[in-house]
Amino acid sequence: MSTPRFLLLEDKPLDTEAIQTTLTDGGIGCELSRVDTRADFVTALETVEFDLILAAYAMPGFDGISALKIARNLRPDVPFIFVSASLGEELAIETLKQGATDYVLKQRLERLVPSVQRALREAQERRDRKQTEQLLIEQKQLLELIASGHPLDECLAAVCTSISRLNSAHACFLLTDAQRQTFPRSITPDLPPSFGQGLKDAPINDLCIGTCGEAVYRSEPITCADIANDDRWSQAWRDLCIAHGILACHSKPVMGSDGLPLGSLMLCFDEARMPTAWEYQLAEFGTQIASIAFERDRSSLTSYHSEERYRLLTSILTSIVWTVDPEGAFVSPQPEWETYTGQTWEEYQGLGWVQALHPDDREPLLARWLQAKEQRTIYRSEGRMWHAASGAYHYFEARGVPLFNLNGSVREWIGTITDVHDRQQTEDALRDSESRFRLMVESAREYAIFTTDLDGVITSWNSGAERLLGYQDAEIIGRDGRILYTPEDNEQRRADREMQTAQMQGRAVNECWHVRQDGSCFGGSGLVMPLQTEAGNAQGFVKILQDKTAQRQANERFQLLYDTTSDLLATEQPLALMHNLFSKLSAQLELDYYYNYMVEEKHDRQMLHLRNYEGLSDAEAQSIAWIEFGQYLCGLVAQEKRQIVLDQTQLSTYSSARLLCLLGVTAYAGQPLIVQGRLLGTLSFASRTRTHFTPEEANLLQSVCDQMAIALERTNLLNSIQQQAAQLQRANRIKDEFLAVLSHELRSPLNPILGWTRLLQNGKLDEARRAEALKTIERNAKLQTQLIEDLLDISRIMQGKLSLTAAPVSLTFVISAAVETVRLAAEAKNIQILLDLTTAIAPISGDAARLQQVIWNLLSNAVKFTPNGGQVTVNLRQLDQLAQIRVIDTGKGISPDFLPYVFEYFRQADATTTRKFGGLGLGLAIVRQIVEMHGGTVWAESQGENQGATFIVQLPVMQQVTSISSEPTSAQTNLETPLDNIQILLVDDEPDTREFQAFVLEQSGAEVTAVTSGLEALQSLDQFIPDVLMSDVGMAEMDGYMLIQQIRSRPPNQGGTIPAIALTAYAAEVDQQKALQAGFQAHITKPVEPEVLIRTIAMLLSQTQTAW
């Protein structure tokens, strides 16, 4: 610690020497500067920072009051002690009123050392309070910056700037890479860019970057008091720091929630020295804020965390923290202001807060505000403001500082308002009192003030003493004051030693336990001063006593809240800390019970589930394990989403309080666990010994619960992210498996097609083998076509474009048609298909073709997975308003693990390369979608592998039916429609496809002109007008869409209205719509069945002739 500097105003050298000797002998080492004129006094105060001012009262042409006023104006925070040869009591009182810290007579210099020690201690306490207030203001600003979503680098730069405002040291952050091996980047807002560039990619170890890297390497704070002579630093890094004026530093790692370092905060000093206690505290402050910024940046959850932390911290302050815009207007609600003044947001928003001031104070306070705003300096004022709780105006002190934007303009003002009503009342009473007992102020309700004679017998007693100690003046006056001390202190004669010290040194300060009338004890801070007659003879003592219990409890509550927040941020299972948290709270608040309910689903509705508790037996807990919203007090807290506090539960009007009374509970506090308006559960506390909770205690409990809710939500979000990652991995795996199966299923039919085609080309097959080859090629080609159709159906389903053509349908016919489709496959495996169909089944409203697809898919699956010689049974029954179809097989069965996923897209029980059965795993997904589009349901049942399977479809039947669709019209179409003498212009750039289609058309009697491009087609139309145009869509240079648009732009006599058919491998429904919109009358998907091609041309020509 540096040597304190004292300024002595004294014109007598001998007295100066005596004062210096007294201080030295008393163990006070200081740098004492003496001045003896007004000019030198002013100059010293303006140029040097002093820790204490000692002044003689009588100077030639310069009295002590003038010196005091100058000091208070230039150095208001520096303690001022008069050291005078003669100072009467009235004059001494006047100096104290004017702001002097104390006075010491030169005849009694033995009082100087205790007086100086007390003055320095109290000045340090004031500085500590001011620093704490500044720290809270900076903390609020930084947490708001983090919570508002600003980038991480901007938040860390703001932390560095805050530390620089609070201290002369510069701060910067060195950020690690993912492996914690180097510092790839740094945040150095207060240092030249060259310093940050020099740090880039610095290695993290205990050799190359000195204490900065060592702090991260060891995960602990490291201090270097002299960089130039510290052998832990390499020469390069030592030169870098010294070149930038950094001669010492303190490095503290920034730890993540996983306990690993994320970087290092470096405090840089321009002189070789150790950090001060305040600088150590700033390093702790900076790394905590940085950790919060990193945590927010990593999990995207904090904006909310930072706002809650700030609200909880400010909620336990004794001052109001306020924020206004550059013009002094409130722009957002200020809960502390509302609580203090009773004003609503509508009343104090903007400049409405002025109405809370005393009418006589409004004009001068506004003038001070305008002056501070104009000069952009610290705002200080004192006045009176309405205090809602007491229904009167209270004195207050206001302080505020401007916060600036990067361009130098004022962004907002932030400050505090402190209630100094009691202190002001004391000072007013002191000014008005002419009594020698200047400190006995009846209005000082926060202090017990009483006097005793020289033997310690109480002679006067104020109302504050009555309130604090419990005795009325008639009960205590005349009694020995030692009854206010504990037996242990009386054994050590504490009261006698206090009076002796006060008589010798002018005052005695103590902190010890005191005893109330009811026998209870409290920790108090006391000041004992001697009372003297006008002749200067001692006649007794005055004692001022203040209860420090509330302050101590507030500190304990703050520490508890801080510890709770730290613990919750560090854990991924907040509920596991519940018992430990209750133990800490119970130690402070005398709690016996807690109940933690969480909102959970039961019987398809939300209820409250008891997850943690203490104080209840297992049987009692079981009886209230599940409760409804509104049931009991915990349910009422959840229903109303607010804190409920019951004092003296036996007198409560709540009907739910009866259960608490049966448990012996006398005080209860229930809090909701809410995050962003969403209820997570409740956390309630109860006591059997206390009768009520104070507002501060209730606020503490709610604050703890708010932190618990935030931690629970953070855990839920982390779990959700992990689940989403697992689902994504699962989806990727399913996708890869599906693509592998798709490749296999599309390639497998190509092998027999290509093989038999090559054999046919060789011409070495007899007629029987030739017929078998053609059947094999046709069967595998149709298999590929069916695979593609399944993919298209799934695409339509996912896009919501699968459409139905509804009409009355007979399920008996649909089942029979589907059975015929798979009968050949069943006979090939010697599988018997049995039909058990009830004929008196009401029809359903649906699409016959799609329903046949459903039954065909189920039968195909049954045949595929049933071994040779097995059996498949189709059962049709009517159950009330439902038709039920059951497809039962004696095949492979379905394992219980796979049964829940059997209808999902791309799912197969065996997707490996060694799987026994083919397919894409799409059929059952299509089945489910079609059935649900018909308003029905489908599910599967199986006893397990090799136990067979049953698929059940239920569809709603029609109530009244006039006619029933017999079968799809496509089945009734004549496929032998002749195309004799029909001229067809065929356009396709693929030779094989073009030759095949031309051959099919010529075999049907058509006259075909085949061309290879859209340009050739337009040239052909100049030569003749065909009866029909058939064009491929996907062609080079001019595709089918461009061709038809060119044709439709022509007049009719040049072919502008000829019927046109689009031939394409683009098979999606959107492609069909695009073709029709472009000008085609029909759309046929490749591969083209010859029968379909001929029938489509015939139907198109028939429609054209009908139109004519």
Higher per-residue confidence, 541 vs 707: 541
Q: What is the pTM of this model?
A: 0.36
Domain match, 265 and 157 both: yes
For residue 27, give the amino acid letter.
G
Residue at 905 is within a domain: yes
182-183 and 80-84 strand pairing: unpaired
pLDDT at 971 over 60: no
| Assigned domain for 30 exists | yes
Short-list 983, 981, 987, CA closest to 1025: 983
Same domain for 597 and 690?
Answer: yes
- Reported as a pLDDT band with limits 50, 70 and 90, residue 211 is low
- The predicted structure's pLDDT at residue 890: 93
pLDDT at 918 over 60: no
Give the SS3 label for residue 33. strand
- Residue burial 617-650, b: 16+ Cβ < 10 Å; e: rest: eeeeeeebeebebebbbbbbbbbeeebbbbeebe
> Which one-letter amino acid corresponds to residue 93?
I
Element (H, E) at 644: strand 644-647
pLDDT-based confidence at residue 874 (cuts at 50, 70, 90): very high
pLDDT (0 to 100) of residue 917? 45
Whether 747 is in a domain gets the answer no
960 and 995 share one domain: no
* Surface-to-core class of residue 56, CB atoms within 10 Å of its CB (0-12 exposed, 13-18 middle, 19+ buried): buried
Report residue 11's pLDDT band, with 50, 70 and 90 as the boundaries.
Answer: confident
- Nearest-angstrom CA–CA distance, 711 and 581: 13
Judge whether residue 313 has pLDDT over 50.
no
Could you tell me the CATH number of the domain that includes residue 844? 3.30.565.10
**Does the pLDDT of residue 872 top 70, yes or no?**
yes
| Strand order, beta sheet including 5-9 | 31-35, 5-9, 52-55, 80-84, 102-105
221 located within any domain: yes
SS3 assignment for 678-698? EEEEEEEEEECCCCCCCHHHH
Q: Which whole number is the average pLDDT over 462-475? A: 88
Position 558 scores a pLDDT of: 61
957: three-class secondary structure by DSSP = coil
In a domain, 744, yes or no: no
Higher pLDDT, 55 or 656: 55
Q: Give yes or no for residue 735 having a pLDDT over 60.
A: yes
- What CATH number does the domain containing 1048 carry? 3.40.50.2300
Domain containing 851: what range? 804-971
* Interval 311-330 mean pLDDT: 70
Work out the pLDDT band at 906, boundaries 50, 70, 90: low
Percent of the chain with pLDDT over 90: 24
pLDDT given for residue 1009 in this prediction:
95
How many other C-beta atoms are found inside a 10 Å radius of the C-beta of residue 340?
Answer: 21
Regarding whether 982 and 951 lie in a shared domain, the answer is no
Report, as an integer, the average pLDDT of 916-931.
Answer: 72
pLDDT greater than 80 at residue 767: yes
pLDDT confidence tier of residue 161, bands split at 50, 70 and 90? very high
Tell me: the pLDDT tens digits for 347-368?
888 888 889 899 999 999 888 8
Let me know whether 1063 and 1098 are in one domain.
yes
Per residue in 946-956, pLDDT (tens digit) is 899 999 999 99
Q: Do 115 and 25 lie in a common domain?
A: yes
Q: What would the mean pLDDT of 799-812 be, rounded to a whole number?
A: 77
Give DSSP secondary structure letters for 812-879. HHHHHHHHHHHHHHHHHTTPEEEEEE-S----EEE-HHHHHHHHHHHHHHHHHTSPTT-EEEEEEEEE
Strand order in the sheet with 222-224: 185-187, 170-175, 261-269, 248-255, 222-224
Percent of the chain with pLDDT over 70: 85
User: What pLDDT sits at residue 859?
Assistant: 92
Query: Model confidence at 248, in pLDDT bands (50, 70, 90)?
Result: very high
The answer to whether the beta carbons of residues 174 and 164 sit under 8 Å apart is no
| DSSP code at position 403 | E
* Residue 677 falls in which region: left (phi positive, over 0), alpha (psi -120 to 50) or beta: left
Query: Longest C-alpha distance within the chain, in Å?
Result: 148
- Count other C-beta atoms under 10 Å from residue 691's C-beta: 12
Residues 291 and 324 in one domain: no
| Residue 794 belongs to a domain | no
Same domain membership, residue 982 and residue 962: no
Most confident among 130-134, 723-727, 930-934 (mean pLDDT): 930-934
**Low-confidence winner among 399-403, 430-434, 438-442, 536-540 (lowest mean pLDDT):** 438-442
Give me the residue label for tokens 């097989």. Answer: 889
Confirm whether 22 is domain-assigned: yes
3-state secondary structure of 546: strand
- The mean-pLDDT minimum among 107-111, 121-125, 259-263, 712-716 falls in 712-716
Domain boundary among 503, 519, 547: 547
Q: Which two tokens stand for residue 216?
A: 């991260």
Q: Taking a C-beta distance cutoff of 8 angstroms, is the pair 121, 93 a contact?
A: no
Of the residues 715, 747, 765, the one at which a domain ends: 715
Domain end residue (candidates: 273, 301, 329):
301
Same domain, 186 and 99: no
* Phi, psi dihedral angles at 200 (to 5 degrees): -55, 130
Q: Let me know whether 613 and 468 are in one domain.
A: no
Question: Is 495 found in the same domain as 636?
Answer: no
In whole angstroms, give the CA distance from residue 506 to residue 846. 105
* pLDDT higher than 80, residue 601: yes
> Total structural domains in the chain?
7
Query: Given a cut of 80, is residue 576 above it in pLDDT?
Result: no
Q: Which amino acid would we find at residue 435?
A: S
Average pLDDT, the chain: 82
Is position 409 within any domain?
Answer: yes
Structure tokens at 908: 């197969």
Rounded Cα–Cα distance for residues 1093 and 975 (Å): 9
Measured between alpha carbons, how far is 241 from 266 in angstroms, rounded to an integer? Answer: 12
For position 672, which CATH number holds?
3.30.450.40
Q: Is residue 278 domain-shared with residue 344, that is, in the same domain?
A: no
Enclosing H/E stretch for 352: none
CATH number for the domain including 374?
3.30.450.20
